Amino acid sequence: MSTPNVGNMVQFGTHTIIKFSQWSSPPPSTSSNQGRNNMISSNQGRNNVISSNQGRNNMISSNQGRNNVISSNQGRNNVISSNQGRNNVISSNQGRNNVISSNQGCNNVISSNQGRNNVISSNQGCNNVISSNQGRNNVISSNQGCNNMISSNQGRNNVISSNQGCNNMISSNQGCNNVISSNQGCNNVISSNQGCNTALPWAYPK
């Protein structure tokens, strides 16, 4: 026999059940989604964690807020898009045909993308880091802001283009047919490009 509700507490015999109408702190965590065609979308708020999505055709989209973490997406055809806010981390995406796009804000980190046909595009803000992209046919484009770093791209047919801002660093691109073009700003550094058929047009401001 249960007693009447007292606030958020309901008692059944010797057991007391606490009801939660909404999360206050910490915010919800979505983890360990194993399978195919998983969709995690529209996480609005702060300190969201989406981790360990193993499978194929995973979609993580529209994360609005601060301190978002999207990590360890293993599989094929992963899409991580439209992360708006500050201190976003997208890391360790292993697989093929990964897309990470439209990260707007400050202190974005996109790192350790291993696979083929990776696309990282349209990072607008300050202190962006894109590092350790290993694979083939990587595209990193349209990074607008200050203190951008793109480093250690190992593979073939890498394209890094249209970096507008100050203190851009593009370093250690090892492979064939690398293209680094249209870097507009001041104090750009492009160094240690090892390979064949490397093109560096418009690398330094006139």
Residue 25: predicted pLDDT: 45
From the list 187, 132, 200, 191, the residue with the least C-alpha distance to 161 is 200
Residue 28: predicted pLDDT: 47
Q: How confident is the model at residue 39 (pLDDT cuts 50, 70, 90)?
A: low
Q: What is the CA radius of gyration of the chain?
A: 21
Residue 92: predicted pLDDT: 62
Burial (CB count within 10 angstroms: exposed 0-12, middle 13-18, buried 19+), residue 160: buried
| Cis check: omega of the bond before 28, within 30 degrees of 0 | no
Long-range contacts of 123-131 (CB under 8 A, 24+ apart): 123/148, 128/103
How many Å apart are CA 51 and CA 49, to the nearest integer?
Answer: 6
- Read off the pLDDT of each residue in 65-85 and give the average, rounded to a whole number: 67
pLDDT above 70: percentage of residues in the chain: 5
- Read off the pLDDT of each residue in 45-57 and give the average, rounded to a whole number: 64
- Read off the pLDDT of each residue in 152-180 and give the average, rounded to a whole number: 66
Beta strands 49-56 and 69-71: pairing type? parallel
Parse the chain into domains and list their residue ranges: 31-196
pLDDT above 90: percentage of residues in the chain: 0
Residue 17: predicted pLDDT: 46
Question: Under 8 Å CB-to-CB from 137, ≥6 apart: which residues?
Answer: 116, 117, 118, 155, 156, 157, 158
Most confident of 40-54, 145-159, 183-197: 145-159
Mean pLDDT of the chain: 62
Residue 106: predicted pLDDT: 73
Question: Are the C-beta atoms of 114 and 94 separated by less than 8 Å?
Answer: yes
Q: How does pLDDT run across 118-150, given as a tens digit for each residue? A: 667 666 667 766 666 666 676 676 666 677 666
Who wins on pLDDT, 150 or 162? 150
From the list 157, 159, 117, 162, the residue with the least C-alpha distance to 143 is 162
Q: How confident is the model at residue 62 (pLDDT cuts 50, 70, 90)?
A: low
Residue 202: predicted pLDDT: 47
**Coil vs helix vs strand at 97:** coil
| pTM of the predicted structure, to 2 decimals | 0.49
How many Å apart are CA 123 and CA 100, to the nearest integer?
Answer: 10
Residue 19: predicted pLDDT: 42
140 strand-pairing partners: 120, 160
- Read off the pLDDT of each residue in 58-64 and give the average, rounded to a whole number: 64
